């Protein structure tokens, strides 16, 4: 079983429009809503592939009731931590050429008792769990080192920890010595404070995260696939994706696939890329199972000079 902790969940509403002129009344062509937040997305991917998971998240207000209904419909077991504030709604405005304008609310503020209850709920359900995944941004009221504390406590419970977050929150998580961190290329560049132009740059940046406390680094690199940097070497993998519909949630599916396959080594990276390839083949984060026809290539010889398709 895998336990996910999502401190700042959301309901994501996607609105498709023909154009987006400022100051005008714009009518949508269609819309859809789905439960979200990085840890929620990991849980959705795990359930879509038939794996046991428990999603721990704060829940409050009408939007909290809505996300609970959505997760029940998706057959995701949830441990809800009641809070006084309202869970956030994020809105994505999608134009015909694929341009996405995203508006993210900051989310509710948790008081100290609510913050403590969130951590306690996670460890009430880690018995028999292989991994605990702490994912996403932190709402107001949680300290920047929340994930470092979560990792340290998980290790005391004998549970491995994966962290997927960004910016100062990722930096602050590293002293907790998480077993795995999963940045994307932008997050990796931001944490090390230098641009990434080649695969070698990405590998070197991942090594910096290891030096600061991460035991392993799984970095998603968009069209360039993913790298896995572990103590015994570096792997680079790619998946042949027939058609990219949306990259939303692909990184979360990557992490879910990696943890589901044990969270270490070549086979886990292969599974991760297969799940990510399935995710980009459709809209949103209500994931489908992996396509058995997707070809995944893994190599332990990294072409360090290979330019990234999207340098950051």
| Pairing status of strand 88-94 against strand 160-164 | unpaired
Task: Enter the tokens of residue 198.
Answer: 């080649």
Residue 238 and residue 240: Cα distance in Å, rounded?
A: 7
Task: Enter the tokens of residue 101.
Answer: 């304008």
Task: Enter the tokens of residue 121.
Answer: 């709920």
Task: Enter the tokens of residue 45.
Answer: 């991917």
Q: Are 195 and 180 in contact (CB under 8 A)?
A: no
Task: Enter the tokens of residue 124.
Answer: 């009430």
Active site amino acids: 252
Q: Buried (b) or exposed (e) across 203-237, using 16+ Cβ within 10 A? A: bbbbebbbebbbbbbbbbbbebbbbbbbeeebbbb
Angle at 255 between CA 244 and CA 51, to 5 degrees: 100
| Pairing status of strand 226-230 against strand 217-220 | antiparallel
The closest alpha carbon to 107, from 148, 67, 145, 77, belongs to: 67
Q: Are 64 and 81 in contact (CB under 8 A)?
A: no
């Amino acid at each position: 079983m895998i336990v996910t902790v999502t401190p700042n969940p959301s309901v994501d509403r996607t609105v498709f429009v023909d154009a987006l002129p400022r100051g005008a009344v714009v009518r949508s062509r269609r819309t859809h809503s789905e439960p979200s937040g990085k840890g929620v997305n990991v849980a959705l991917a795990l359930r879509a592939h038939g794996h046991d998971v428990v999603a721990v998240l704060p829940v409050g207000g009408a939007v909290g009731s809505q996300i609970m209904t959505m997760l029940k419909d998706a057959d995701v077991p949830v441990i809800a931590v009641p809070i006084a504030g309202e869970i956030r709604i994020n809105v994505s405005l999608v134009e015909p050429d694929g341009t996405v304008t995203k508006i993210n609310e900051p989310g509710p503020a948790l008081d100290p008792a609510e913050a403590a209850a969130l951590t306690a709920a996670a460890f009430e359900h880690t018995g028999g769990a292989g991994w605990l995944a702490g994912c996403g941004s932190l709402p107001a009221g949680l300290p920047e080192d929340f994930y470092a504390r979560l990792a340290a406590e998980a290790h005391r419970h004998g549970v491995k920890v994966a962290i997927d977050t960004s910016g100062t929150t990722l930096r602050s998580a590293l002293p907790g010595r998480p077993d795995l961190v999963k940045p994307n290329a932008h997050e990796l560049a931001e944490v090390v404070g230098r641009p990434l132009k080649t695969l070698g740059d990405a590998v070197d940046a991942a090594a910096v995260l290891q030096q600061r406390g991460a035991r392993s680094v799984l970095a998603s690199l968009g069209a360039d696939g993913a790298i896995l940097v572990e103590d015994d070497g570096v792997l680079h993998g790619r998946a042949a994706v027939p058609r990219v519909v949306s990259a939303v949630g692909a990184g979360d599916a990557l992490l879910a696939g990696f943890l589901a396959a044990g969270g270490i080594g070549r086979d886990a990276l292969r599974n991760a890329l297969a799940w990510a390839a399935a995710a980009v083949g459709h809209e949103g984060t209500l994931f489908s199972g992996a396509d058995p026809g997707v070809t995944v290539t893994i190599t332990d010889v990294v072409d360090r000079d290979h330019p990234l398709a999207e340098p950051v």
